[in-house]
Amino acid sequence: MMVRHLVTIDDLSEAEIQAIFSLADEFLASMPSPGSPHRIRGCLPLADQFVLATLFYEASTRTRFSFETAMIRLGGHVLSSADPKTTSAAKGETIADTVRVLQNYADVIVIRHPCEGAVKVASEYSDVPIINAGDGGHEHPTQTLCDLYTLQREKGSLKNLNVLLWGDLKNGRTVHSLVYGLARFGARIIPLPAEGFGLPEHVTRRLLRDYDCVPLSNDELIDAGTDKFPVDVVYVTPEKPHQRSLFSDVKEKGTDVLRVRLPHNALSKIDACYVTRLQRERMPGDASAENYPMVDTEFLKDRRYRHSSVMHPLPRVTELGYDLDDDARAVYFKQASYGVPVRMALIAALLQIKPDVLGAVPPKKRHSLFARSTVHCDNPNCVTGLETEQRYLTPKFLVIIEDERLTIRCQYCEHESIPEFIGRSSTKKYEPNRMRWESLPDDITLFTDEAAAIAAGYQPYKQRLKV
């Protein structure tokens, strides 16, 4: 039986996510807290033969506790490493080595790491399940599971929900994972970022390319109920890719004009407001955000928010008014409580205590793999840039040919880069990366820059043109 990991939310199929949610429902129903039905109480005798280790290279009491609680409520045992300075990384140990020792102790390992892609590296060297509890600005997939589960519990289904995203949409890994998850389950995404904190281009590009999630500008959303609603764009996913034509005149790439037929008044009510804090720790040192907006009862007076669930991944700072705490629409503490049943279900699934939740094999990747060091990831916070990890790690990239220029996505941090040059090993020639490929030749080689091509012994394709 193959070992499954949860590094990104894409490691789970939609069916698997739904199966995890059903199991979480079961746990909630069978372990109710008197008076707080969203809360798990008591312990089950399910995991008493298992040990979960938390390995936090970056401190987070909340997240660590939620995993440890989940394991304890399953009847299991916990090894706890709370503090970055107490890990053997301080002695220069690599992630691969740490994991290969730890798998001798624990049956499942939860990792938080400040570098993007670090947990993916861990998963490649582990034969026990690895769970990503946050790797830098990359992913925090169990938070996404909790967010989606909260929406489903509160609203019955994720399909066609209008979800407003509020605050720092630029730096928050939580939000990036969430938008992909929302797209996959067919919710409509309505970004309302603080000024200068919009969704990054790489996220919106992936939404369209990888999740068939189409950006519709407000101008185009006539009759959808967005009048006087200061929204620039809404992301909508048709049920099936071939239904894209439901949004008439969608142009496959570069959509400058779009006629849209959403249901009448489809956007006139907001099902959920997802509020995020300013991710100060992921911003450059001198960045600042004066006038970062606040969601409070005043903001929610508008009738389109009358039934909005207000969500927040917590901790909040000042972006969410305390006056909301007693408002029935505030579900952020309930959302935190759902972290326990969801993580219980995930752990039970990965440990195969509940064997029918996950399929035998993880969801397929549809892109080709390129694994040579002639290109490198240009994300400065990628794990492949760490000196310790370079001792053993070969960069790996998925090669994406759908974009205008051939693009590579780092297998670890999932950051996308565009190699400057492309070569063919059969001819030992290289040329600038400037055209779209219909399909990828077997002998292709990618180069971060021309120097890398020359160092690899390649010649320019059309030498005469270079004069």
Which residues contact its own copies by CB under 8 A? 35-36, 38-39, 41-43, 48-49, 51, 53, 55-56, 59-62, 65-66, 68-69, 72-73, 77, 79-83, 85-88, 90-93, 97-98, 100-102, 104-107, 127, 281, 314-318, 322, 325, 333, 336-337, 339-340, 391-392
DSSP state of 135: E
Q: In terms of CB distance, is 67 or 421 closer to its own copies?
A: 67
Query: What's the closest the beta carbon of residue 44 comes to its own copies, in angstroms?
Result: 10
Query: What's the closest the beta carbon of residue 387 comes to its own copies, in angstroms?
Result: 10
Q: Indicate the residue type of 227.
A: D
Query: What's the closest the beta carbon of residue 35 comes to its own copies, in angstroms?
Result: 8
Q: In terms of CB distance, is 99 or 169 closer to its own copies?
A: 99
Q: In terms of CB distance, is 108 or 410 closer to its own copies?
A: 108
Q: What is the maximum span of the chain, computed from C-alpha positions, in angstroms?
A: 80
- β-pairing verdict for 416-417 and 407-410: antiparallel
Q: In terms of CB distance, is 336 or 452 closer to its own copies?
A: 336
Tokens of 87: 């890990």
Tokens of 460: 């320019």
Cβ contact 423:408 at 8 Å = no
3-state DSSP assignment of residue 190? strand
Query: What's the closest the beta carbon of residue 391 comes to its own copies, in angstroms?
Result: 6
Q: In terms of CB distance, is 66 or 226 closer to its own copies?
A: 66
C-alpha of 421 from chain center? 29
Q: In terms of CB distance, is 20 or 74 closer to its own copies?
A: 74
Q: What is the CA radius of gyration of the chain?
A: 23
Burial string for 301-317 (b: 16+ CB within 10 Å, else e) reads eeebbeebbbbbbbebe
- What residues are paired with 77 via a beta bridge? 51
Cβ contact 130:122 at 8 Å = yes
Tokens of 24: 């979480």
Q: In terms of CB distance, is 225 or 321 closer to its own copies?
A: 321
Query: What's the closest the beta carbon of residue 1 comes to its own copies, in angstroms?
Result: 9
Query: What's the closest the beta carbon of residue 281 comes to its own copies, in angstroms?
Result: 8
Query: What's the closest the beta carbon of residue 163 comes to its own copies, in angstroms?
Result: 22
Query: What's the closest the beta carbon of residue 250 comes to its own copies, in angstroms?
Result: 41
Best CA proximity match to 182, nearest among 227, 135, 144:
144
Query: What's the closest the beta carbon of residue 397 comes to its own copies, in angstroms?
Result: 21
Helix (H) or strand (E) holding 340: helix 332-350
| Distance (Å) of CA 284 to CA 54, 287, 385 | 29, 6, 18
Q: In terms of CB distance, is 35 or 284 closer to its own copies?
A: 35
C-alpha of 364 from chain center? 17
Q: In terms of CB distance, is 127 or 252 closer to its own copies?
A: 127
Q: Which stretches of 163-232 are DSSP H helices? A: 173-184, 201-211
Can the peptide bond before residue 315 be classed as cis, meaning omega within 30 degrees of 0?
Answer: yes
